[in-house]
Amino acid sequence: MLNPIVRRSDFVRQLTPDTVIDANDAFIDRIDLDIGDWLLSGELADICGALSHLRLAEVPTADGGSVSLFNSHIIERFYEIRGLRFSTNPRTDSLNQSSALISGTVERPNWRYRPTTRQPGETERITFKTQLNLTRFLQAQRLHHRSRLDRPRLASNYVMAISPETSWYADEAPLLPATNVIIGPNKKYAFALKDSRSVQMQRYLNIAQDMLNNAMQGAFDGEGASAHLAPYFSLRAIEFYWEFDAESPIDFVASLRERVMQHGQVVSQDFYTFSNASLRTTHQSPCLTIQLTTKIKVKIYAKTTRRVRFEVTIKDDAINAVAGQRSQDSVDGIVSLIPALAQEAADRLTPLIQSITAAPPPAGRATSLQLMHLIIQNAQDRYVAEAIIAGLVSIGRVAPYGNDPMKNAIKGLKERGVLRSVRPRSSICVITDEYNDALVSLRRHR
């Protein structure tokens, strides 16, 4: 059976009313993962000296060069281990230099969550509190120049460093410098979709663990201290995303604010500043964040000049609730969590996508003055009326709790068809379709 020909359109799809959010289409971006534990034995002075040698560890790049894995921190006392970090800064991204595909810190473990107690002969213990990125890992791999779209092939072994190429951005560019995006010729998309996310993640985590183990063994080789691996992994957070084509991604995201308001406990809007003045006069893209629960959120933002990203983050206790124990003793154990987490991300995103792609409601006949009059009439108190109007205008909803003074007024507005609950038995209320245009007009003239 022949493999399908894969192009950009298979990865970055069109967003239509028929769009289905499938867990199998979910891609993985950031992975916050504790990788450990290394049991350290020997005199503390020898252990500190060995850990200082980690500054010499290097990671090969696809072009035959190398980059440092850690910073140049020297440890004289064990508590100074807090200054030992990976050389890659997760808060910055560059399109003109190579960097390792792992970031984070080195820390002492939290014994409360460890399945094993201190072992005989163990002096200290460390774990790598890492931030990984599966998208960046796949984008970093160099493919054969004439790689087929149904059978993409690597030009070298897998690498753990990314070296951005200008050819990736010939037809499309990130709005902010970013390498965590599948971009470039069609063979990049073909390679990204060649295997399932579980297979890709298993490969990435195995390579990362081997790299760290080799770095530790090299640092302790010939020293008076020793390091022994007791496998422990803990998934702190993971990001799934779906990307869609957009002729004007900035304007598209800006247009979604009203429609996504009703979906979250908290909805916020930030702005990403651009350096490319041709994109828009303000050089800013809104980033909409919808806090679905305390541990699950959705972000919507323009990722490149031609696409919008919908990103679902699941972290901490939500991982336990969805997929089971987030702490495992093997890479396979962590990978086994992926299908359930991807399905949860798809289920969370589906209602939001449905509201975005739904046909717009018919134009209402009510005016902004009529809307204000109805609110004031039902409130019977100008301060309550002002609070309801302010809530609807600024965040698109009101939510009375307990003995809130707005409670009776909101009940009356629901009975008169001005407000509706976002879902059955929910205290969160939004404007009805009949009065939506009136609210839009009110916002315009506030």
Angle in degrees, 0-180, between the axes of helices 433-444 and 368-379, rounded to the nearest 10 = 100
Question: Does residue 30 belong to any structural domain of this protein?
Answer: yes
Q: Is the pLDDT of residue 2 over 70?
A: no
Question: Does residue 15 belong to any structural domain of this protein?
Answer: no
The pLDDT of residue 270: 57
Q: How far apart are CA 256 and CA 246, in angstroms?
A: 13
Q: How far apart are CA 90 and CA 83, in angstroms?
A: 16
The pLDDT of residue 264: 55
Instruction: Point out the domain boundary residue: 357, 377, 411.
Output: 357
Question: Does residue 5 belong to any structural domain of this protein?
Answer: no
> Residues 343, 378: one domain?
no
Q: How far apart are CA 37 and CA 51, in angstroms?
A: 14
Per the CB < 8 A criterion, the answer to whether 25 and 12 are in contact is no
Q: How far apart are CA 315 and CA 304, in angstroms?
A: 26
The pLDDT of residue 260: 75
> Residues 424, 276: one domain?
no
Per the CB < 8 A criterion, the answer to whether 314 and 238 are in contact is yes
Domain count, the chain: 3
Omega within 30 of 0 (cis) for the link into 381: no
Question: Does residue 13 belong to any structural domain of this protein?
Answer: no
Per the CB < 8 A criterion, the answer to whether 303 and 244 are in contact is no
Q: Which residue has the higher pLDDT, 403 or 249?
A: 249
Q: Is the pLDDT of residue 276 over 50?
A: no
Task: Using pLDDT thresholds of 50, 70 and 90, give the confidence band for residue 281.
Answer: very low
385, 388, 389, 391 alpha-carbon torsion, rounded to 10°: 150
The pLDDT of residue 343: 97
**Which positions ≥6 away from 153 have C-beta within 8 Å?**
143, 144, 147
> Residues 53, 187: one domain?
yes
> Residues 139, 223: one domain?
yes
Q: Is the pLDDT of residue 292 over 90?
A: no
Per the CB < 8 A criterion, the answer to whether 44 and 78 are in contact is yes
Question: Does residue 188 belong to any structural domain of this protein?
Answer: yes
> Residues 119, 261: one domain?
no
Mean pLDDT is lowest, of 74-78, 169-173, 202-206, 273-277, for 273-277
- Say how many C-beta atoms besides its own lie within 10 A of residue 275's C-beta: 9
Of 196, 192, 202, 32, the closest CA to residue 128 belongs to 32
* Element spanning 103, H or E: strand 103-107
> Residues 297, 403: one domain?
no
Question: Does residue 216 belong to any structural domain of this protein?
Answer: yes
Tell me the residue range of the domain where 410 lies.
368-444
Q: Does the pTM exceed 0.75?
A: yes
Q: Measured in whole angstroms, how far is the alpha carbon of residue 445 from the centre of its chain?
A: 36
Q: Under DSSP, is residue 120 helix (H, G, I), strand (E, B) or coil?
A: coil
Question: Does residue 3 belong to any structural domain of this protein?
Answer: no
> Residues 47, 188: one domain?
yes
> Residues 142, 265: one domain?
no
> Residues 244, 231: one domain?
no
> Residues 278, 422: one domain?
no
> Residues 198, 257: one domain?
no
Q: Under DSSP, is residue 407 helix (H, G, I), strand (E, B) or coil?
A: helix
Q: How far apart are CA 284 and CA 179, in angstroms?
A: 19
Question: Does residue 279 belong to any structural domain of this protein?
Answer: yes
> Residues 82, 138: one domain?
yes
Per the CB < 8 A criterion, the answer to whether 15 and 244 are in contact is yes
| Structural tokens at position 201 | 């993640």
The pLDDT tens digits of the residues spanning 397-411 come to 888 887 788 999 999
Mean pLDDT is lowest, of 113-127, 215-229, 338-352, for 113-127
Task: Using pLDDT thresholds of 50, 70 and 90, give the confidence band for residue 114.
Answer: confident
Instruction: Point out the domain boundary residue: 357, 381, 416.
Output: 357
Q: What is the CATH number of the domain that holds 382?
A: 1.10.10
